[in-house]
Amino acid sequence: MLAAELGAGARPVKREIDLIAQQVERIRHITTGLLQFARSEPAAGPVEEVNTNWLVGEVLPLVGHGLKPRGIDGLKPRGIDLMTRLEATRPVWINVFDLEQVLINLIFNAANAVADGGRIVIMTRDAEPGGVVLTVEDNGKGIREEQLKNIFDPFFTGDAHRGTGLGLSVSYGLVRRYDGNISVTSVVGKGSRFEVWLPQRSTARSSGRDGLPEATQEESRDHHYA
């Protein structure tokens, strides 16, 4: 709609318009997903095979707009290096928007921890038993040992001036929904490492766009490869 209104003037900002449309859909999915998450309902959308390397490539332009042009606090530019090491060869069985949300949450959590000129590394690799590990590592301020046990609790935040304390909790719930696991190791003054393990197959049920269960998971499956 926006592109149609701008006409020929939309060409120079086509990438930005596409990102806006993608994020509007993601916000719709998040809203529906939070309601279903609170009610322990099926996933808000199709559960499908997702290539994690492809997903990282899709997420980077989104977080890049948040980290570099305006900064995560909207006040100043951030000179944060985003690096990738993508080695996974297996797909995982998940809703693509849910995995995107988990990755975005982890990246912005890392960005809150690093100083200007800091580094965030996103990695994927195959891992047994029959799954993929997605890692977000930073060289930021780290997390104190006494905070680690509460890091995935709702509304818990180690910094009263940043965030709502929901990002990691929601990420934990989403990962567990798909029979996965999320863990963290951290050293104060050196940084943190969050690892998400996801299986190639999970028992998560899928729901359609209107919240109604799909006939079968196989019917909604799609393949995303770079």
For residue 150, what is the domain's CATH number? Answer: 3.30.565.10
pLDDT at 91: 95
Do residue 1 and residue 105 come from a single domain? Answer: no
Tell whether omega for the bond before 129 is within 30 degrees of 0, i.e. cis: yes
Do residue 189 and residue 106 come from a single domain? Answer: yes
pLDDT digits (tens, 9 = 90+) for 20-50: 776 676 565 556 555 544 544 555 578 899 9
Q: Do strands 91-94 and 48-51 pair parallel, antiparallel, or not at all (unpaired)? A: antiparallel
Predicted TM-score (pTM) of the model is: 0.69
Establish if 92 belongs to a structural domain: yes
Label residue 2 by pLDDT band (50, 70, 90). low
Label residue 213 by pLDDT band (50, 70, 90). very low
With the C-alpha atoms ordered 141, 142, 148, 152, is the resulting torsion angle positive or negative?
positive
pLDDT at 107: 92
Do residue 109 and residue 12 come from a single domain? Answer: no
Do residue 25 and residue 83 come from a single domain? Answer: no
Do residue 29 and residue 62 come from a single domain? Answer: no
pLDDT digits (tens, 9 = 90+) for 180-195: 999 999 999 999 999 9
* Average model confidence (pLDDT) across the chain: 75
Rounded Cα distance between 51 and 224, Å, is 6
Q: Which of 1-10, 14-23, 154-163, 193-202 has the highest mean pLDDT?
A: 193-202
Do residue 18 and residue 55 come from a single domain? Answer: no
Establish if 132 belongs to a structural domain: yes
Establish if 211 belongs to a structural domain: no
Establish if 165 belongs to a structural domain: yes
Range of the domain at 25: 1-45
Do residue 33 and residue 61 come from a single domain? Answer: no
Rounded Cα distance between 141 and 195, Å, is 18
pLDDT > 70: what percent of the chain? 62
HSE-up of residue 150 (Cα within 13 Å, Cβ side): 10
Establish if 224 belongs to a structural domain: no
Do residue 61 and residue 41 come from a single domain? Answer: no
pLDDT at 214: 39
Joined tokens for residue 134: 């997605």
Q: Kindly list the distances between the CA atom of residue 145 and the CA atoms of 25, 114, 130, 158, in Å, as whole numbers in the listed order.
A: 37, 18, 31, 11
Do residue 123 and residue 13 come from a single domain? Answer: no
pLDDT tops 60 at residue 140? yes
Do residue 88 and residue 192 come from a single domain? Answer: yes
Report how many domains make up the chain. Answer: 2
Mean pLDDT of 76-105: 87
Label residue 128 by pLDDT band (50, 70, 90). confident
Mean pLDDT of 164-171: 77
Mean pLDDT of 99-106: 92
Q: Which of 4-8, 10-14, 222-226 has the highest mean pLDDT?
A: 10-14
Q: Kindly list the distances between the CA atom of residue 110 and the CA atoms of 107, 153, 195, in Å, as whole numbers in the listed order.
A: 5, 17, 12
C-alpha torsion 217→22→209→33, nearest 10: 90
Establish if 213 belongs to a structural domain: no
- Please compute Rg for the chain using Cα positions: 18
